[in-house]
Structure 1
Amino acid sequence: MGNKQGSEFGGIMVRTEKTNYFAGDLVKGNIYLHIIKSGYHGNVVQFSIVGKEKTEWEVSTGKSSTTHRGKNVFYEDSFVINTFLNENLMVGQFVFPFELELPLDLPGSLYHSYGLLASVAYKIKVRIISNSKSINDIKNEQEIIIREPIQEILQASQKKVTANLTTWCCKQQGFCSITAKAEKNLYQSGELVNITYDIDNSNCKLNLEKVDASIMSRLIIQSNSGAQYRQEVKLNSVSQSGIQKGMKLLSSASTGCSLQLVNIKNPTIVLAPSTNGSLVNFQYYVIINPNFEGCTFCSSKPIVEVPITLFTLLPQEDQEPIAQPENWQPKAFQPFLIKSNSINPFNKNSLKKMANPMNS
């Protein structure tokens, strides 16, 4: 039943009520066990959950190239759902309900494969542990998607930057300050981001010719060796007129703009939510980039980055029902409340000590 890997003795399947969760949610589901043939040496029903990050990218230098890889198992736990008294598993049908409380600090799921690999993924695994070296475990797994919880208070996001400007690398031209503000700090894909900004160019000798406002995404990934790769993508942007030297520009409807939170080159793509892992970090921000007259390439500029968070509401799910075996009349056990523990999840001796034997 439901065991794609198959076994002559039967099958096992895990099915959660949903496939999408927020960190901190309670995951409810069932483990279905269908043993059709006697002689299987094993009586421990094990439940595991694993959260794993993976990264991979290639760097070319001349004729040679180097591939960087990262792997991090940041969340791993395992529990015995049931131990049958008979070490030779009996023929029968069984259902084991379970409830698992997810930690609050889990990074959100992500899969990015455009020219590189950056993934944060979660899997729930179930198996009947075989006590025979010649017989494999009966097992099954299911992937679940986890989103980071919306912990921020809905509020404006604001930042100010002041910079001294020079032309031709050394000629002092005074300083300019820019304060930029996004109307709020939490957004969904497709929403309008309303941006306003103040410019104080009163102590600067250079005209500010134009202001570029953009929404950017920033992906930062790392390898296990410490190498890092950064990818920034301009999602949407607009250019507006600047101001003269010695002037101030206060925020108003005329100095603001509205940019849709979409990839303007591929507007049908739903943007991935922000995530904050150890090897994989994916964030969004608004950037205000001023362009001054003259040669200011070697000069610092008051470039303002205002961070914003992109979140996703979990969908209303309607999973297809499980195709039940003929004459499916399982014995149902009491729900098993899974709580985190520090026992090595792959230590079979520890697993047996955890179990409360129950008659089949």
Structure 2
Amino acid sequence: MQYRRREDNYVFWQDKFVRCSTDIPWAEKRWTVFSTFWYLFMQAKFFAVPPAIRYVWFLTWRAFMYKVYEAHKALVLWQCKLDAYLARIGSFGAVTTFSKEMALRRLHWKNSPLGEVLYMINVYKISTPLHLWDDNDARVEPGQYQFPFRLSLPVNLPSSLRYKEKHASYNNTAYQNIKAAVEFKVRAEVVRGSGPGTAASNLDTTANLVVRQRPSAPPGPLSSETITTINRCCCAAPGRIMLRLTAAQDTVAAGEAVEVTLEAENRTDMEFTDVTLALERELSVSAGEGLFQARSVVASSKGPGLMQGASYLCDNALRLSLPLPAGLTPTCLSSAVRCSYRLTVQLGAAAVFNSPRLSVPLTVHAAAPPHVAYGTSPPEYWKPKVVTTPVEITLPEPPMLPPKLEVMTNPTYGERPT
């Protein structure tokens, strides 16, 4: 099924208004009752109005209609941007582009902007009642009440993230200010009843929810190894060096230190001056049609080098430590924001074309809050008179990314005009 594009409608009606009547094919000159009255009206206008006035009126009306077309196009573009924005914030960043389904829905005017807002509120903002008082109760007795609940988060939910960069450049484009944030909030509200004396607003409170990124694979020990052939001047190969990097786990929290063990066997006739342990960050932020990517080293440390022909295995292995900043941006895997880390080990030497290098992925979680979460150890004064049964709240899975928009040619009007 072929859908007519909105640009085709503009081309069709502009062609109707601009071209001469002699160019109109006979199939479009069907004689109807409306065409009869229209013929009489045009004949009266032709003989009653002077040609100069008719021409001035034609120019004025054409200029006015061009402005109407431009305003209509701007309105449709704003509605498309609104659709994409509502889909992006409602799908937790999974939808980042204007999809084909949105275009078809907007083309046929099935949803208004108000309907889109109501759809977002009803679908993407999950509201679950924790307790309902009896309608016969005129008031709630003073005291302490406890309404526990448990959230079940989707598996592919991205982690909480905050990123800010003032000056950056990517792909020959300079960016003045780059901000990226993935936030989750839980809002509790006590809704007042309707009736006399209930004009006051409802009681509500909001708390931030820190979500940690779920690793693509189950957490486990970190291990990787490589064998590098050293090349010096004149393509000479003095030997090989073997590196093996191990750690107790492949996840770490911001503010902690990465403890790794490096086993190396130097089978060359040269000495390596130092061993560099670094954490590299790969960041990708997309908004609309813009894309920003950056790769940087967020933490590094240097240790002693390797002696010529030395072997650092088993108990003689090197113990390396890399402290991480407390405000490090956590790992986040979403469609709009992707932040990943790699732990690299590199040996430094002079007059070497290919320095030995080993890189492994590392998952960085957000730093634990400094305070103890409320509810794990209630204070002494907290003695609620009513404790309800915990309510299970399951959040829906965010929708999948829509397919790429296919360019379709309408056979009625040919190719899209340039």
TM-score by length of 2: 0.45
**Structure 1 counterpart of 2:291:** 227
* Partner residue in 2 for 1:24: none
Per the alignment, residue 274 of structure 1 pairs with 331
- How far does the alpha carbon of each residue in 1:38-93 deviate from its partner, in whole angstroms, 9 at most, with x for none? xxxxxxxxxxx977459xxxxxxxxxxxxxxxxxx9x9452453999xxxxx9866
Aligned ranges for residues 1-360 of structure 1 at < 5 Å? 52=92, 76-79=124-127, 81=129, 98-115=149-166, 116-125=178-187, 141-148=206-213, 152-155=218-221, 157-167=222-232, 171-173=235-237, 176-185=240-249, 186-188=251-253, 189-191=255-257, 193-202=259-268, 207-224=270-287, 225=289, 227-244=291-308, 247=309, 249-252=311-314, 254-263=316-325, 269=326, 271-294=328-351, 296=353, 300-311=354-365, 312=367, 316-318=372-374, 336-340=391-395
Alpha-carbon distance between aligned partners in 1 of 2:345 and 2:394, rounded to the nearest angstrom: 47
CA 343–306 in structure 1, closer or farther in 2 if over 3 Å, else same? closer
Larger RCO of the pair (alpha carbons < 8 Å, separation 6+) = 1
User: Aligned letter for 2:242?
Assistant: I
Structure with more of its chain in helix, by fraction: 2
Question: 1:255: how far off?
Answer: 4.6
- Compared CA separation, residues 153 and 343, structure 1 to 2 (3 A): closer
By how many angstroms is 1:318 displaced?
3.5
Classify 1:184/1:140 alpha carbon distance in 2 versus 1 (closer, same or farther; 3 Å). Answer: same
One-letter amino acid matched to 2:346: N
> Is the 2:266–2:307 Cα contact (8 Å) retained in structure 1?
no
Residue type matched to 2:245 in 1? K
Q: Where does structure 1 lack aligned partners over 5 or more consecutive residues?
A: 1-48, 55-72, 85-89, 129-136, 264-268, 322-329, 345-360
Task: State the Cα distance separating 1:182 from its structure 2 match.
Answer: 2.9
TM normalised by structure 1 equals 0.51
* Percent identity over paired residues: 14
Q: Number of residues paired by the alignment?
A: 252
Larger radius of gyration: 2
Compared CA separation, residues 158 and 281, structure 1 to 2 (3 A): same
Instruction: Say whether the 8 Å CA contact 1:219–1:280 is kept in structure 2.
Output: no
Contact 1:165 1:175 in 2 (8 A): yes
| Local SS of the residue matching 1:145 | coil
Q: Is the 8 A contact 1:160 1:179 kept in 2?
A: yes
Is the contact made by 1:212 and 1:288 (CA closer than 8 Å) also made in structure 2?
yes
Q: 1:274 to 1:238 in 2, by over 3 A?
A: same
- What letter matches 1:308 in structure 2? L
- Alpha-carbon distance between aligned partners in 2 of 1:334 and 1:275, rounded to the nearest angstrom: 34
